[in-house]
Amino acid sequence: MGFDLGNLLQQYLGGAIDPARAEQDFPQAAQQAPRGAVAQGVTEALRSDQTPPFAQMVSQLFGRSDPQQRAGMLNQLLGNVNPAMLTALAGSIGNLFGQNGQPQVTPEQAEKITPQQVEEIATTAEQHNPGIVDRIGDFYAEHPQLVQALGGAALAIVLGKIAQASRN
């Protein structure tokens, strides 16, 4: 008997799910659900008042990411911060600008940035462009194994959003 994503997701439409259960269900659901639905769910969890603040969750994800993922996420964030922050970061990790003049962090540079710095960058990026939450949600939908680290409460929100999307 195969995995029944629809039946599993039905349970998440009500919203009152044990976080430990969400941690168990998430890996299979994320693997089988449409990527767009996973991205919407991750974004919803990043914005929720039932989870830690966006910047704190991004810092947590950064801490668990590999160098490539760290660089990718930082490049998303740094496109949404002020020049003063870019200059301050460049002072500690070197040139941040690619050939197109846009911030372009390499995996090697990303290794020099601390989770605390990422939290500060994420706070600033969100202040300058609230849409960055959507971009980070979309980015991490590609890496559901990292999203797992956010914990059961966040995963229940993600699964609830996937359930809603599957009904539409």
Domain ranges of the chain: 20-167
Of the candidates 45, 1, 8, the residue with the CA atom closest to the CA atom of residue 163: 8
The highest-confidence range among 50-59, 81-90, 124-133, by mean pLDDT, is 50-59
Task: Give 88-126 pLDDT, tens digit per residue.
Answer: 666 656 566 655 556 788 899 899 889 998 998 898 889
Q: How confident is the model at residue 63 (pLDDT cuts 50, 70, 90)?
A: very high
Mean pLDDT over each residue of the chain, to the nearest integer: 84
Q: What percent of the chain has pLDDT over 70?
A: 85
Other beta carbons within 10 angstroms of residue 54's beta carbon come to: 23
Using the 8-state DSSP alphabet, how is residue 16 labeled? -
Map tokens 């950064």 to a residue: 62
